[in-house]
Amino acid sequence: MGEKKARRMKTPKVSKNCKPLTAEELREISDKYAVYIKDLHVAFDTQDGCVKAVNGVNMQIEKGKTLGLVGETGAGKTTTGLAMLNLIQSPPGQITAGQIVVNGQDVLHASLKELENFRGKDVSMIFQDPMTSLNPVLTVGDQIAEVISYHENCTAKEAEEKAKEILELVGIPGFRDKDYPHQFSGGMKQRVVIAIALACSPSVLIADEPTTALDVTIQAQVLEMMRELKQKLNTAMIMITHDLGIVAETCDEVSVIYAGRIVEHGTLVDIFEHTRHPYTEGLFNSLPDVTNRTAKLKPIRGLMPDPSNLPEGCAFCPRCNYAMEICKTKKPQKIYDSDTHYVECHLYSCGRQIGDGGEMDA
């Protein structure tokens, strides 16, 4: 009993604001969704103040679907992904509110042992930078076999064999399992990272900018491979990216995140053809027009707000072409455009919309 208690003590601390879910609620949620996040808040306590990285994110992903999480650097995308595994670095960071259910597991109230069983098997994460994500002193085969032997009942030899198979699956010759990470190129390293993530056929895959560090041709290969594997295993996936092109290729639904909040969410068609939020409009406008090479680029002016000093009212207001007085003081609420599409913007509560002119600041 003492040991059990001691183990449970080693749960990453979450704030008391995160209420545990009842078994009923848990079952209800997990029947419908592979991923369920409600009102997630994550803050980091640093020397320079309290950095509010995630400020009320909601997410629901059905099994087998892919959600694209789109936003600029610093919007809180990676933090959201890490929170889903309860891997926020705990001295500075803390999950201050919210509920997270992934594959039927109440993530925020799981013991360390439960989390260790859960990570890598029910849900896996592909990290952004392949250069630093692999342990330099362990062989590639060892790092893949490790995740297999911790989650599946098999001998070391079987794990080794399976690791070789998976390497083949991601397009790396099996005999290279005895090599070290530094002996691979960037693209191959990322494939190893993907191999590790998929080794135990997870039900949910969090891909954090998996192709950002790679060049375009490799990007295409990796995305294709992920798509195939996803279809084979019916994995639900979160594709975290700032690249709208990748979103168009791989996602079923899209959430646009800004300063730690989802400002617009909808299906692929909703977002691409019925864009509602000024920020999303800005993102699309920022893409250079391939057909008109001499056209002026239209970036979004200004910078993302300092997460340790977020403005009152709408976080996008200082950069918004449609900003109104109310935007400065009141945070916008969710407004549904259709069953699948919502946006958080005051324009829509006033009967206006984007594209109807807006104030252009000099």
Which residues contribute to the site for other proteins (CB under 8 A)? 10, 85, 87, 89, 91, 112, 115-121, 124-125, 127, 129, 132-138, 146-147, 150-151, 180, 182-183, 193, 196, 301-303, 318, 361
Minimum distance from residue 107 beta carbon to other proteins (Å): 13
Neighbours of 257 (CB within 10 A): 23
Minimum distance from residue 156 beta carbon to other proteins (Å): 14
Query: Which residue number, 117 or 353, has a Cβ lying nearer to other proteins?
Result: 117
Q: In Å, what is the CA distance from 235 to each residue of 28, 130, 226, 245, 256?
A: 20, 22, 10, 21, 22
**Cα distance between residue 336 and residue 266, in whole Å:** 10
* Tokens representing residue 353 in the block: 């919309």
Q: Note whether 34 and 61 are within 8 A (CB).
A: yes
Query: Which residue number, 132 or 185, has a Cβ lying nearer to other proteins?
Result: 132
How many angstroms from the chain centroid is the CA of residue 179?
Answer: 30
Q: How many CA atoms lie within 13 A of 164 on its CB side?
A: 9
Query: Which residue number, 237 or 254, has a Cβ lying nearer to other proteins?
Result: 237
Query: Which residue number, 214 or 247, has a Cβ lying nearer to other proteins?
Result: 214
Q: Note whether 337 and 270 are within 8 A (CB).
A: yes
Query: Which residue number, 75 or 196, has a Cβ lying nearer to other proteins?
Result: 196
Query: Which residue number, 293 or 296, has a Cβ lying nearer to other proteins?
Result: 296
Minimum distance from residue 351 beta carbon to other proteins (Å): 30
Query: Which residue number, 87 or 324, has a Cβ lying nearer to other proteins?
Result: 87
Minimum distance from residue 7 beta carbon to other proteins (Å): 10
Minimum distance from residue 109 beta carbon to other proteins (Å): 17
Q: Note whether 351 and 357 are within 8 A (CB).
A: no
Q: Note whether 251 and 240 are within 8 A (CB).
A: no
Minimum distance from residue 41 beta carbon to other proteins (Å): 21
Minimum distance from residue 358 beta carbon to other proteins (Å): 16
Q: Is 201 exposed, middle or buried (0-12, 13-18, 19+ CB in 10 A)?
A: middle
Q: In Å, what is the CA distance from 169 to each residue of 22, 120, 162, 178, 226?
A: 40, 18, 10, 17, 11
* DSSP at 227: H
